[in-house]
């Protein structure tokens, strides 16, 4: 069966489980040698699902690589995994390219992806009529199809793009997204109902999705998640239909809480870290707290937060082995977060984020009321986060503790990166207040 038009191709991808279909018009320098250009920022990491990110420092151009679960399909609807397909993130530009997409895959469209000699190029490296389609499934598979420059599909697609039929994000066009409908509208409708209902008793969803009373004083976020049907989780996926949802009551908003993956903390764990660096409090407790800004020693902890491998002048990562380092008084790295983990976490969670203010009453257990306006942030890049840290807008504000330190200890890990509401807009390309009354 051949794909005579876009509808037949999208139907085939939907039958494979694709819920979202994207397309990249290819240029003459999109080929197997020069790779396929996917944008001048890390934004595509939100659009194309990846499994992990690893740094590649010992090469001519330092980079990060992200593995993909990538499959080619052809007009006979044969499917074959391109197991070496990956994204390569070049932070010095920055840019992202698709690589390894032909290797070891017999049905890959190799003939249409051969490099074109410079003297034979006709379009000055502009669009040459080929179109690369990506079908994304709920379990993060990517099904790819390449239409030739003389195909009916490419002609139809070029016409529709020219007429403005498709939404564009970066270099990719969104053809269909049956998983989300209008996720922004649906989220706002839910939040409007929650606002209109007034006060809500503190609650938390169980792993089975059953709401239960929650007695602790930190239930503002859990209660909102329960009202939205969001089960508590520690993974790095967005909370609600592609949106990260954050409730806040004070001047500081917690952006993310990734645990250090390097330094003494990464090697020995939170309990050993707090026992070594925490300060004793009454009732046999140890705490590690303090407001840590890049380059400024923290009085309460005696430690200094540093941003290693980021050039604040260019706004680019200059060392892929760098990261966020916490340095103790002796100059040792007490805790560190590598760029690898942070890029994955930030790119997945913060491409779309909703910030909802609330107030709490004095009852025990408390009740919560969610207020208007809320704030929506859309479109971000990991470099925005690093630049905000360098300016001192984003701080490290930990609250890790060890209770019953001399008996059978209880440990709580809380590595918080926080920002004030006034500085929040600097993390997004689009940031707006929305009235939900």
Same domain, 172 and 192: no
Same domain, 124 and 199: no
Q: How far apart are the first and last CA of the chain?
A: 52
Task: Please give the Cα distance from 157 to 26 (Å, whole number).
Answer: 12
Same domain, 50 and 81: yes
In the prediction, which pLDDT does 1 show? Answer: 46
Residue 19 lies in a domain: yes
Same domain, 187 and 172: no
pTM: 0.89
In the prediction, which pLDDT does 418 show? Answer: 97
Same domain, 51 and 154: yes
Q: Burial of 316 by CB count in 10 Å (0-12 exposed, 13-18 middle, 19+ buried)?
A: middle
CA–CA distances in Å: residue 203 to residues 215, 227, 228, 244, 368: 8, 9, 12, 19, 10
Selection from 145, 124, 118 nearest residue 24 by Cα: 145
Q: For residue 298, give its domain range.
A: 183-434
* Single residue among 161, 177, 193 that ends a domain in this structure: 177
Same domain, 195 and 159: no
How many domains is the chain partitioned into structurally?
2
Residue 37 lies in a domain: yes
Residue 148 lies in a domain: yes
| pLDDT beneath 70, residues of the chain | 1-2, 178-181, 233-238
* Single residue among 177, 198, 215 that ends a domain in this structure: 177
Tens digit of each residue's pLDDT (9 = 90 or more) over 190-246: 999 999 999 999 999 988 889 999 999 999 999 999 999 988 765 556 688 889 999
Same domain, 222 and 86: no
Q: What is the CATH number of the domain that holds 124?
A: 2.40.330.10
* Single residue among 139, 158, 177 that ends a domain in this structure: 177
Same domain, 70 and 125: yes
In the prediction, which pLDDT does 408 show? Answer: 83
Residue 236 lies in a domain: yes
Residue 1 lies in a domain: no
Same domain, 134 and 191: no
Q: Burial of 128 by CB count in 10 Å (0-12 exposed, 13-18 middle, 19+ buried)?
A: middle
Selection from 242, 251, 189 nearest residue 393 by Cα: 251
Take residue 272 and report the two structure tokens written for it.
């050993």
Same domain, 143 and 44: yes
Count other C-beta atoms under 10 Å from residue 107's C-beta: 14
DSSP string of 189-242, one letter each residue: HHHHHHHHT-EEE-EEE-TTS-EEE--SS--HHHHHHHHTTPPP--SSS-SBTT
204 phi, psi to nearest 5 deg: -150, 135
Task: Please give the Cα distance from 294 to 424 (Å, whole number).
Answer: 17
Same domain, 219 and 334: yes
Residue 54 lies in a domain: yes
In the prediction, which pLDDT does 179 show? Answer: 59
240 phi, psi to nearest 5 deg: -135, 105
Same domain, 125 and 155: yes
């Amino acid at each position: 069966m051949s794909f005579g038009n876009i509808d037949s191709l999208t139907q085939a991808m939907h039958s494979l489980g694709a819920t979202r279909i994207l397309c990249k018009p290819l240029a003459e320098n999109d080929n197997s040698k020069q790779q396929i250009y996917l944008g001048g920022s890390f934004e595509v990491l939100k659009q194309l699902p990846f499994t992990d990110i690893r740094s590649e420092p010992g090469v001519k151009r330092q980079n990060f690589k992200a593995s993909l679960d990538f499959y080619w399909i052809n007009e006979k609807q044969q499917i074959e995994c391109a197991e070496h397909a990956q994204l390569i993130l070049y932070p010095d530009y920055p840019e992202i390219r698709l690589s390894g997409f032909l290797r070891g895959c017999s049905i890959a469209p190799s003939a249409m992806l051969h490099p074109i000699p410079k003297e034979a190029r006709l379009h000055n490296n502009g669009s040459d009529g080929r179109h690369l389609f990506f079908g994304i499934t709920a379990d993060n598979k990517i099904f790819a199809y390449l239409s030739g420059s003389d195909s009916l599909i490419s002609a139809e697609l070029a016409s529709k793009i020219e007429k403005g039929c498709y939404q564009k994000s970066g270099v990719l066009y969104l053809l269909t997204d049956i998983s989300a409908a209008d996720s922004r509208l649906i989220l706002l409708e839910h939040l409007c109902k929650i606002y209109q209902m007034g006060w809500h008793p503190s609650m938390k969803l169980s792993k089975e999705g059953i709401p239960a009373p929650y007695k602790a004083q930190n239930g503002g976020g859990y209660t909102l998640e329960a009202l939205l049907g969001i089960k508590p989780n520690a993974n790095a996926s967005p909370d609600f239909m592609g949106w990260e949802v954050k409730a806040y009551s004070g001047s500081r908003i917690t952006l993310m809480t990734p645990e250090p993956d390097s330094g003494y903390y990464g090697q020995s764990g939170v309990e050993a870290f707090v026992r070594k660096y925490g300060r004793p409090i009454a009732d046999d407790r140890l705490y590690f707290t303090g407001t840590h800004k890049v380059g400024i020693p923290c009085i309460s902890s005696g430690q200094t937060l540093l941003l290693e491998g980021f050039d604040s002048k260019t706004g680019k990562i200059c060392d892929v082995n760098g990261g966020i380092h916490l340095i103790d008084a002796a100059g040792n790295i007490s805790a560190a977060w590598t760029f690898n983990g942070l890029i994955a976490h930030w790119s997945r969670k913060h491409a779309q984020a909703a910030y909802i203010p609330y107030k709490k009453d004095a009852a025990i257990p408390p009740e919560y009321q969610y207020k208007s306006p809320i704030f929506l942030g859309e479109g971000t890049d990991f470099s925005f986060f690093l630049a905000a840290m360098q300016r001192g807008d984003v701080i490290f504000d930990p609250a890790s503790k060890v209770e019953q330190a001399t008996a059978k200890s209880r440990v709580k890990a809380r590595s918080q990166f926080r920002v004030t509401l006034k500085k929040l807009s600097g993390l997004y390309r689009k940031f707006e207040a929305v009235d939900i009354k």
